[in-house]
Amino acid sequence: MESALITKKTMNVLLIGNNPSELSTIYEQIKKSRNVSYVAEVAFDISDIEKFVKKSKMDCIVIDDKMEKKELDKLFQYLKKNSLTNNIPITIVQNSNADDAPRGGADEFILKNSVTSETLTHALFNSLKIHELRNYLKKTYTKRKRTILAFR
């Protein structure tokens, strides 16, 4: 059984970063998609994020990793603690596969040099699937844990 998100034909995407040229490249690739219609918003800071998330329900977030590590960590912390954003799948568009690349809370990663409309769409749908799987496993684990502890 496929979820409603995974079969969507229109997706609301929030692009987050601090480099307009990098974000415009990602934006252009999103707009080229033939199979899915994207409504994309671009945010440069937390106040932009809040404005767009309150305005419309975002299906996923794409983060350009060309931010300082400290900024990225602060951003992830905000996204995971905020009730408006903590349940939105996150995809990171990163420069390299380096070990120091940001990992905290992202559901999917894609390298900038391989970003095309198809690969980006594939990564976004993967992030939706992975996010749903994590939520299912978390919910199931919590339920089963209570059941097992009840037998003690």
**CA 61 to CA 17: how far, in whole Å?**
11
**CA 118 to CA 101: how far, in whole Å?**
23
| pLDDT at residue 52, rounded to an integer | 92
- Indicate the Cα dihedral angle 28, 101, 126, 45, nearest 10°: -50
Measured at the CA of 28, the angle between CA 24 and CA 33, to 5 degrees, comes to 150
**CA 107 to CA 146: how far, in whole Å?**
27
Q: Are 127 and 144 in contact (CB under 8 A)?
A: no
CATH number of 10-150: 3.40.50.2300
**CA 152 to CA 149: how far, in whole Å?**
6
Domain ranges, ordered by start, for the chain:
10-150
| pLDDT at residue 1, rounded to an integer | 36
Q: What is the pLDDT along the chain (152 residues), one digit of tens a residue?
A: 344 445 567 899 999 999 899 899 999 998 898 888 899 999 998 899 999 998 988 999 999 888 888 888 888 889 989 888 888 999 999 887 665 555 667 888 888 888 899 999 999 999 999 988 988 998 898 888 877 777 76
- Look at the block and give the residue holding tokens 């671009």: 42
